[in-house]
Amino acid sequence: MQIDIITIFPDMFREVFNFGIVRRARERTLVDVRVHDLRDWTTDKHRTTDDSPYGGGPGMVMKVEPLVSAVEAIADERTRVVLLAPRGAPLRQSKLRELAEVEHLVLVAGRYEGVDERFAYAANAEELSIGDYVLSGGEIPAMVVVDALVRLLPRALADPESAEQDSFSHGMLDFPHYTRPEEFRGLRVPEVLLSGNHAAIDEWRHQRALSDTRARRPELLTTQKIAT
């Protein structure tokens, strides 16, 4: 998989992909992550990427011309373009599984008050948001998308079942996890996990995932058919 990131702050990405699962996936050539400075596609001596909004108002708006030029220089027939922006559709695990099948993904990090509305149309870009809050720009969301995507690539994880058991993979939160010691300050590991009865363990895990989801994120259960 090839992932290209377009940003006005490429230095923010200098070290972030050199750790953990993403680093190992890059070393195994499972993913090729490239970061591009949007200013390379500007045409004026000041390398301008933003301008004041038509109609007035605070802040600046990212210009359409350099953004489209950058995408057109990087994209090919395999490419899917994603703009990270607060007004985008919420990022879900199901969307990540869909994007993990893409050969070439271009992530565009928005900034300032937003991106000229014409960009999404001209670049055939979809908009995604990582949550209902506002960050200074799309750089951190781009990092989130890359990290979450790489986990889903074949052979990226030492144990493929890890991704299958993650929260949201089956429409629920993950079940609780425990490791040694068996008791810590009076808090004991549930006996069923020590029993060696795998059928009982599986049932306990399913019921805990269900009850925790119902208590913490009940809206997940209303949108999916979950076996109880």
Name the catalytic one among 37, 65, 126, 166. 166
Instruction: Name the token pair of 183.
Output: 């008791």
Determine whether 27 is an active site residue.
no
Cα–Cα distance between 8 and 192 in angstroms, integer? 52
- The bridge status of strand 104-109 relative to strand 125-129 is unpaired
Determine whether 86 is an active site residue.
yes
Determine whether 166 is an active site residue.
yes
Name the catalytic one among 26, 86, 126, 212. 86
Name the catalytic one among 37, 113, 126, 147. 113
Determine whether 113 is an active site residue.
yes
Q: In Å, what is the CA distance from 216 to each residue of 183, 196, 201, 206?
A: 26, 29, 22, 15
- The bridge status of strand 125-129 relative to strand 183-184 is unpaired
Cα–Cα distance between 208 and 205 in angstroms, integer? 5
Q: Residue 204: what residue type?
A: W
Contact in structure between 147 and 191 (CB atoms under 8 Å)? no
The DSSP bridge partners found for residue 79 are: 104
CA torsion through residues 7, 9, 15, 20, sign: negative
Q: Which residues contact 62 (CB under 8 A, 6 or more apart)?
A: 49, 50, 110, 111, 112, 114, 115, 116, 119
Match 């390398």 to its residue by tokens: 47
- The bridge status of strand 125-129 relative to strand 61-62 is unpaired
Catalytic residues: 86, 113, 151, 166
